[in-house]
Structure 1
Amino acid sequence: MISVYADLAIGLVLAFLLLSLLVSGINEAFVRMLGIRSKFLWAYLRDTLDGGSEEGKSWIPTKVADVFAKLPFSKDDPRPEHSPDPAPPVVAPVPVDPATVLAADEPVPKIDMTERIYQRLQEIDHPKGKRTSISDIPPERFSGAVMELVSAEEDGVEGLLTKLEAINSPLAGHLRGVWEGAQRDLEKFRRGVENWFDGEMQRLSNLYRRYVKWVVFALGVTLTLLFGMDALEYGKTLLRDNAFRAGVAAIAGGSEGGLTALEEKCAGAKPYDCVTESLSSPAMVKVFDHAIVSITIPPGGEDPSLNWNGALWWDRVSSPGHWPGFILTVVALLFGAPFWWDVLRRLTGFRNRS
């Protein structure tokens, strides 16, 4: 009896794992193709280093639709243009005279600090178009870029902070707090910038994952309906499949205890052909048989064929009796592939090689 429930658990977990991998794969392909993760990072950097856009609006999207619909196709790409050259060997100081800027009544000059930071990160970029593909910046790399900007100023950190404050860069307030917290010690300042940026990246990652959850939910609902994956019905199918195999094994061992299950399964068919077909098509193989388009593999070694199941699929999807199973499948997919892989490892006793 324990083996029956173990088979049921493994079958369900494996089905959830396969669907979760499909959801993750589609989401990752969409994100990589449109460069969403990279655009999200550089939108944050634009806000942090230069402030809002020319219209005074924030670069960071505030809604899920903005992240996955507006940001990928917006004409205002926040990413700097890709440069195949290594970082310039000489770091030029920020071209601003704070005294002149503060004394003048003219608008504050726009200095592209994002571009200046990118120049110090060019070595970790990869050519994937006209814009940078950097989607992750190590904190130690960012702090190193800031320290290179500091070394270019005559007055060091104070000189850089004064110029950033003169051009109203939001970065000035963050670095000023780190500088004062480091008690004006240069090494502590470098570590402070590294820790600050690491915390900002964690906050940004949490914000991005919150948006991604909605996309995963939408993909989970879509795939569950397209495949007609009723988790409750699939669990019953696994139990029936296990009972049928146990009956066949009992008959093979000389017992007639499984004859009833065999007669019900093979009613009107040749027992030998029925048993062969059933054993070669376990419940796991049939998990996606109710999809809007299914694949049939003939037993004679012929080429697989695609079958349109539009009418049967619609009857299944529109039947309220299947909705609880659909809801259970969608909820299971929200846990993600790593969760179901870990559960499968625990159930099967599989351990990763060290």
Structure 2
Amino acid sequence: MFNNLAIDVALGLIFIYLLYSLLASIVQEMVARLFNARARVLTKALRRLLEDDDRSGDLGVFGRFTFFNWFYELGWSVVHFFAPFQNGPFLKKFYQSPSIRYLGENSASARPAYISPQIFSQAMVHLLRGQPEGQASETAAIRNSLAHNTLHLAPDTLTHLRNLFEDAHHQVPQFRINMETWFNETMTRASGWYKRQTQVWLLILGLGIAAVFNVDTIAIARILMKDKNVREQMVRLVANREPSYTAITDTLTRKHILHRDSSYFRQDTAVSILLKDTALIGVYAALRQDAGDAKNVLGVSRACVTDTAGGKRATHCGFTHPYQQNGWLVLAGWSITALAISLGAPFWFDLLGRVVKFRNLPAQQGNTNGV
């Protein structure tokens, strides 16, 4: 077994990052469910799909610069948060169609967080078909709708749908397949949008967690390097907790809180609210206990201390640890922790397993040779 200082320090830091990444993921999931974040990202994707959502021309010459566009789009994101269908008449019709309206979980979460490609194409065909007059066929009704733009589609969206209909040679089944492919391509990008949004939230939550729990990476690393007893206690804690974290990670993955792929919208409407999910509450309690144990092992605290030097009794509160006397270094340590947490629990879980396996590899080989 390796007793290398660098490996043990890295093992301790990885365990700390994993622990707090899991805590941040649960808190982020609470925020995401509170604000129905997945449904909002899906609505944003459908707006891009069904409306000509290009407002870069509104900024004039400033629209050429990413900096100004970012703030402009951020402002519209706030507007669409409170008014999701503003400037989106066809998007509103789409969500009001029977195929989509009843996919929401309840009245508080009226918009679904996931729509299958088949449901999307079905809703689009129903809207384009409308109520055929007389004995008109479905194909004729869709052709007429696209030709005369009876749904008042935006120009670019109308042009694209006409092209998809022509590519299908006016065959409705093939037209549906073409729309499903179009939908899937957009949803792949929407998954990336949600992932980036999650990383931003994890970064913000990571900074808050680092400040609340005083998870100062620089101080922790110095403690682990200098104090052999603390380092050995941390390694023992990792060894004891590592098997249980496999079960915790599997539980959160099944609950669609930890994502190892790009399927950020699937089956979300079938997940119960976090406050009613006893399994997640149990996981959260276990993580809080481990956070307390890890903090006690590392000894990074901000407890008040009493100084009686010079015959005067004085109480000092704040950063009392000798490795946290420089406020700028503390801020840097918190920032490093926040960046590490934003990488996500799956990253640190996989890395922890690799490091533990590498650390124990020589011992396993020795046992094999002894046999």
Which category describes the TM-score, using the shorter chain as reference length?
0.5 to 0.7
Deviation for aligned residue 1:68: 7.7
Read off the aligned partner of 1:10 and give its amino acid letter.
L
Read off the aligned partner of 2:338 and give its amino acid letter.
V
Task: Describe the superposition over 1:319-343 as per-residue Cα deviations: whole angstroms up to 9, x where unpaired.
Answer: 2344553343233222111111121
Q: 1:78 aligns with which of 68, 71, 85?
A: 85
Say if 2:3 is the partner of 1:3.
yes
Read off the aligned partner of 1:126 and give its amino acid letter.
E
Match of 2:112 in 1: 134
Which structure's CA Rg is the greater one? 1
Read off the aligned partner of 2:352 and give its amino acid letter.
L
Aligned pairs, number: 265
Change (3 A) 1:314 1:10: closer
Partners of 1:173 and 1:317 in 2: CA distance:
64
Match of 1:223 in 2: 209
Q: Which runs of 4+ in 1 moved over 6 A?
A: 244-247
Note if contact 1:21-1:337 (Cα within 8 Å) is conserved in structure 2: yes
Say if 2:1 is the partner of 1:15.
no
Task: Describe the superposition over 1:173-199 as per-residue Cα deviations: whole angstroms up to 9, x where unpaired.
Answer: 232222223333333221111110011
Q: 1:344 aligns with which of 330, 338, 352?
A: 352
Say if 2:174 is the partner of 1:188.
yes
Give the TM-score of the pair, scaled to structure 1.
0.60
Q: 1:144 aligns with which of 122, 131, 152?
A: 122
Change (3 A) 1:126 1:147: same
Note if contact 2:145-2:151 (Cα within 8 Å) is conserved in structure 1: no
Give the TM-score of the pair, scaled to structure 2.
0.57
Q: 1:120 aligns with which of 99, 104, 119?
A: 99
Match of 2:294 in 1: 284
Change (3 A) 1:238 1:194: same
Say if 2:22 is the partner of 1:29.
no
- Larger helix proportion of the pair: 2
Note if contact 1:227-1:288 (Cα within 8 Å) is conserved in structure 2: no
Deviation for aligned residue 1:17: 0.9
Match of 2:159 in 1: 173
Instruction: Could you tell me which runs of 5 or more consecutive residues in structure 1 were left unpaired when the two chains were aligned.
Output: 80-109, 248-280, 295-308
SS at match of 2:9: helix
Partners of 2:115 and 2:78 in 1: CA distance:
24
Note if contact 2:224-2:231 (Cα within 8 Å) is conserved in structure 1: no
Note if contact 1:16-1:329 (Cα within 8 Å) is conserved in structure 2: yes
Partners of 1:288 and 1:161 in 2: CA distance:
67
Deviation for aligned residue 1:282: 11
Read off the aligned partner of 1:210 and give its amino acid letter.
R
Match of 1:262 in 2: none
Root mean square deviation of aligned Cα: 4.2
